[in-house]
């Protein structure tokens, strides 16, 4: 039986989802609706925009105003929606390849504008939908169907990228630390500006299998054992940081929001300021 | 003498004035010659009427933002030129399958690739028709004067809303940058068409269902109480993806036929001295202006030549071209390319008459004199 949360916010007639057994995307998707529920937003005011890939299929399962766009362009579509109707709460669902490879340009410019959009990247370190090719977040040395001899690319730190580009809320959590993820999504939505939340998730079918990471539970355990909260991480000596990754609210700042700034220009004509 | 609003206006400027009159309240674009004035003027004028202008990070982002704005319920436009038009094809295909009204202006320049940015060309005729992948139909309009840019921009918005489709407004460097006298109409003289919105209870709304007597599905905007899903995947009437081949075929055929079956409404052509013509020139945009001047010269020399000018270049005016081909001895397609529209015209008209082509790709306008010379050759051949 679906939970009350699922019944309220999911288009249950379109379930079951297409995700593989052991996939972490369901945990992230649930965290999004839980955050929306906690904030008490009305379903009519929420707009979910996604790109292309496994995670981007989530938009179709959610009972809001939803758009499943083209590959990499979710943020560009979302910018049009938010700018046209600033009263909508716009949330972007995207994957690591969608957001930072084909959509990398849109990501940095949405962050630069500080437009009030909350972006949640489902980072599973691979292109799952097409069968496990290396993505910008596949760690160096790891295997993928297009890196049969090991990946020689340096992987992106997406949070550092978003922060440098101008996001005013940047956080990272995992599918193990799901409650933390929910809180971060709430805070991201509350932030008046561009919020970037990286949700580390797992792909046992492709990334896990190709790199002998074990079953889904093993991969979640890996996240549990190697994720360190920012407060503890900051105190950790450099040599002990190796192989660990930082989670938590990594960066917050305040800066004028794009649609509000533009509204001032409109008001200067209509109100004769 | 009544007060008349007469102006000297540039083609690109007329496009912006008309778009705002047609209801454009969102523009997203990226700078590119020779269309940039459309972005610049939109940035100046839109906030004055409560509209939004945004310069996006690239061409693909611009068309994507335009589609997003239209899905949200706001009439939206973007403008570009050859290389940018190529990039926008991704979004145009998305607008086709999601039936999202929007206007894409392409002020053509020399190509392929960066080509000759400031030189006129008509090399995007086939890209306008087939630029995006997959089976589809498209509406493309091509005005030839500043006045006509004004009225066809309004028509482009009206057709986009009426048929829920992207509409391509083709121009070329010459008409985009040309300045002419134009008498602006009053707003009450203009017919504006707005997309039909649903009135049913939200739980009954099927966003891609065509109701009896309608051409296209009713279109709600986001935040209006109708929560629905939009996807570039092949979808059923509820808007959700399907791999069912029958549903897919029904959808694609409907998207094509909503345009092809309504040619009587969509196709618009202009004729000049065709009644007794033995030779018909087919031309559009700035080239058609040279053709008209050439026809005047040829007529003075006693040659019966006329002009068939498609204002709607896509869908093709098959019926009208067939009638023409049965009437004249020769058809000559004149265009600033090596025969793109000629291929389409010859397919239809070639059954009944000989179709010739005259084109060039050196970045110069086709002059009336060279058309006169070519027609004389054809005429006495």
Give pLDDT, residue B128: 98
* Mean pLDDT within A162-170: 98
- In three-state secondary structure terms, B101 is coil
Q: Which residues lie closer than 8 Å to B302 by C-beta, 6 or more apart?
A: none
- What tokens were used for B344? 């389409």
CA distance A203 to chain B (A): 23
Chain A CB contacts of B52 under 8 Å are 83-84, 262
Give pLDDT, residue B2: 57
- In three-state secondary structure terms, A214 is coil
**What whole-number distance in Å separates Cα of residue B57 and Cα of residue B41?**
18
| pLDDT at residue B168 is higher than 90 | yes
CATH label of the domain that carries residue A40: 3.40.50.970
- What tokens were used for A248? 């938590």
**What whole-number distance in Å separates Cα of residue B119 and Cα of residue B362?**
9
* Mean pLDDT within B76-86: 98
Instruction: Annotate B171-186 with b (16+ C-beta within 10 A) or e (fewer).
Output: bbbbbbbbebebebee
| pLDDT at residue B1 is higher than 70 | no
* E strands present in A38-194: 46-50, 65-68, 89-95, 117-123, 126-127, 133-134, 169-174
| pLDDT at residue A255 is higher than 80 | yes
Is residue B63 within 8 Å of residue B18, measured between CB atoms?
no
Q: pLDDT of A170-199, one tens digit each?
A: 999 999 999 999 999 999 999 999 999 999
| Mutation for A interface: B223, B224, B232, B235, most A CBs within 10 A | B223
> How many domains is chain A built from?
1
Is residue B215 within 8 Å of residue B259, measured between CB atoms?
no
pLDDT band at B270 (very low <50, low <70, confident <90, very high): very high
Specify the residue for token string 């589809």: B136
Chain A CB contacts of B50 under 8 Å are 266, 270
**Is A250's Cβ below 8 Å from some Cβ in B?**
no
**What whole-number distance in Å separates Cα of residue A122 and Cα of residue A26?**
10
- Is the Cβ pair B61, A45 closer than 8 Å? no
- What tokens were used for A15? 């379930």
Q: Which residues lie closer than 8 Å to A160 by C-beta, 6 or more apart?
A: none
Is residue B365 within 8 Å of residue B120, measured between CB atoms?
yes
Is residue B320 within 8 Å of residue B155, measured between CB atoms?
no
Is residue A50 within 8 Å of residue A74, measured between CB atoms?
yes
The total number of residues shown for chain B amounts to: 381
* E strands present in B292-329: 305-310, 312-314
Q: Which residues lie closer than 8 Å to B289 by C-beta, 6 or more apart?
A: B144, B145
Is residue B251 within 8 Å of residue B235, measured between CB atoms?
yes
Q: pLDDT of A130-155, one tens digit each?
A: 999 999 999 999 999 999 999 999 99
- Is the Cβ pair A269, B222 closer than 8 Å? no
| Overall fold of domain B269-379 | Rossmann fold (3.40.50)
Find the residue in A nearest to B221 (Cα).
Answer: A65
Listed residue (B308, B317, B354) closest to B335, CA to CA: B308
**Is A67's Cβ below 8 Å from some Cβ in B?**
yes
- Is the Cβ pair B223, A47 closer than 8 Å? yes
Give pLDDT, residue B379: 83
Q: Which residues lie closer than 8 Å to B138 by C-beta, 6 or more apart?
A: B92, B96, B128, B129, B165, B166, B168, B259, B314, B315
Is residue A100 within 8 Å of residue A71, measured between CB atoms?
no
User: Among partner residues B26, B224, B232, which is closest to A84 by beta-carbon distance?
Assistant: B26
Report the mean per-residue pLDDT for chain B.
Answer: 97
Give pLDDT, residue B187: 83
Chain B CB contacts of A59 under 8 Å are 229
User: Among partner residues B26, B90, B223, which is closest to A65 by beta-carbon distance?
Assistant: B223
Find the residue in A nearest to B47 (Cα).
Answer: A266
Both ends of chain B: CA-CA distance in Å?
A: 53
Domain that holds residue A221: 4-270
Q: Residues B242, B232, B315, B21: what is their CA dihedral angle, to the nearest 10 degrees?
A: 130
Give burial (CB, 10 Å; 0-12/13-18/19+) of B12.
buried
The model carries a pTM of 0.97
| Mutation for A interface: B65, B202, B232, most A CBs within 10 A | B65
B269-379 and B1-266 share a CATH fold: yes
**What whole-number distance in Å separates Cα of residue A204 and Cα of residue A124?**
9
At A235, give phi and psi (nearest 5°): -85, -10
Report the mean per-residue pLDDT for chain A.
Answer: 97
pLDDT band at B339 (very low <50, low <70, confident <90, very high): very high
Chain B CB contacts of A269 under 8 Å are 47-48
Q: Which residues lie closer than 8 Å to B4 by C-beta, 6 or more apart?
A: B183
Superfamily of domain B1-266: Thiamin diphosphate (ThDP)-binding fold, Pyr/PP domains (3.40.50.970)
Work out whether strand A65-68 and strand A46-50 pair parallel, antiparallel, or are unpaired.
Answer: parallel
ipTM of the complex model: 0.97
| pLDDT at residue B147 is higher than 60 | yes
Q: Which residues lie closer than 8 Å to B335 by C-beta, 6 or more apart?
A: B122, B125, B283, B284, B287, B341, B342, B357, B358, B359
**What whole-number distance in Å separates Cα of residue B324 and Cα of residue B222?**
47
Adjacency order of strands within the sheet including B269-272: B269-272, B305-310, B279-282, B330-335, B354-359
Chain A CB contacts of B66 under 8 Å are 80
| pLDDT at residue A271 is higher than 90 | no
Find the residue in B nearest to A79 (Cα).
Answer: B65
| pLDDT at residue B3 is higher than 80 | no
Domain assignments of chain B as residue spans, ordered by start: 1-266, 269-379
Is residue B316 within 8 Å of residue B292, measured between CB atoms?
no
- In three-state secondary structure terms, A241 is helix
């Amino acid at each position: 039986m679906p939970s009350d949360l699922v019944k309220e916010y999911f288009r249950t007639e379109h379930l079951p989802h297409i995700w593989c057994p052991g996939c972490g995307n369901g945990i992230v998707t649930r965290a999004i609706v839980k955050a929306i529920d906690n904030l008490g937003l009305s379903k009519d005011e929420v707009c979910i925009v996604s790109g292309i890939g496994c995670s981007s299929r989530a938009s179709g399962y959610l009972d809001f105003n939803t758009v499943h766009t083209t590959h990499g362009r979710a943020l560009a579509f979302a910018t049009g929606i938010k700018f046209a109707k600033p009263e909508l709460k716009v949330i972007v669902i995207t994957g690591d390849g969608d957001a930072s490879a084909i959509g990398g340009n849109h990501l940095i410019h949405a962050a630069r504008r500080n437009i009030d959009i909350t972006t949640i990247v489902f980072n599973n370190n691979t292109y799952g939908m097409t069968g496990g090719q290396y993505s910008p977040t596949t760690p160096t040395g790891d295997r993928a169907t297009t890196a049969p001899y090991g990946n020689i690319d340096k992987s992106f730190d997406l949070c550092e990228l978003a922060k440098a580009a101008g996001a005013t809320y940047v956080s990272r959590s995992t599918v193990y630390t799901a409650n933390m993820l929910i809180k971060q999504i709430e805070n991201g939505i509350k932030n008046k500006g561009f919020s970037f939340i990286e949700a580390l998730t797992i792909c046992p079918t492709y990334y896990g299998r190709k790199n002998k990471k074990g079953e889904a539970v093993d991969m979640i355990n890996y996240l549990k054992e190697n994720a360190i909260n920012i407060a503890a991480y900051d105190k950790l000596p450099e040599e002990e940081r190796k192989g660990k990754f930082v989670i938590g609210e990594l960066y917050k700042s305040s800066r004028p929001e794009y649609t509000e700034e533009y509204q001032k220009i409109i008001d200067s004509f209509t109100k004769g300021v | 003498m009544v007060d008349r609003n007469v102006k000297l206006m540039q083609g690109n400027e007329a496009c912006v004035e008309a778009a705002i009159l047609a209801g454009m309240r969102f523009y997203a674009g990226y700078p590119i010659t020779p269309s940039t004035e459309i972005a610049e003027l939109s940035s100046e004028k839109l906030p004055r009427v409560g509209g939004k202008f945004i310069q996006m990070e690239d061409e693909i982002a611009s068309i994507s933002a335009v589609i997003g704005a239209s899905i949200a319920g706001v009439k939206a436009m973007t403008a570009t030129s050859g290389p940018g038009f190529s990039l926008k094809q991704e979004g145009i295909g998305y607008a086709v399958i999601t039936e999202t009204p929007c206007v894409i202006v392409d002020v053509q320049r020399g190509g392929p690739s960066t080509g000759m940015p400031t030189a006129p060309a008509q090399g995007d005729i086939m890209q306008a028709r087939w630029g995006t992948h997959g089976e589809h139909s498209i509406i493309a309009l091509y005005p030839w004067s500043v006045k006509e840019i004004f009225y066809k921009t309004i028509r482009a918005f009206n057709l986009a809303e009426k048929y829920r489709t992207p509409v391509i407004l083709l121009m070329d460097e010459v008409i985009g940058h040309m300045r002419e006298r134009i008498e602006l109409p009053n707003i009450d003289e203009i017919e504006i068409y707005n997309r039909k919105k649903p009135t049913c209870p939200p739980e009954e709304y099927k966003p891609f269902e065509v109701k009896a007597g309608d051409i296209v599905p009713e279109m709600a905007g986001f935040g209006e109480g109708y929560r629905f899903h939009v996807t570039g995947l092949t979808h059923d009437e509820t808007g959700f993806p399907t791999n069912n081949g029958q549903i897919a075929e029904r959808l694609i055929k409907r998207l094509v036929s909503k345009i092809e079956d309504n040619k009587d409404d969509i196709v618009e052509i202009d004729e000049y001295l065709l009644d007794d013509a033995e030779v018909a020139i087919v031309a559009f945009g700035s080239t058609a202006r040279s053709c008209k001047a050439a026809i005047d010269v040829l007529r003075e020399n006693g040659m019966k030549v006329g002009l068939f000018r498609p204002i709607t270049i896509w869908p093709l005016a098959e019926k009208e071209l067939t009638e023409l081909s049965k009437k004249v001895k020769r058809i000559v397609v004149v265009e600033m390319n090596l025969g793109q529209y000629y291929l389409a015209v010859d397919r239809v008209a070639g059954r009944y008459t000989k179709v010739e082509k005259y084109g060039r790709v050196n970045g110069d306008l086709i002059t009336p004199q060279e058309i006169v010379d070519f027609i004389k050759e054809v005429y006495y051949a």
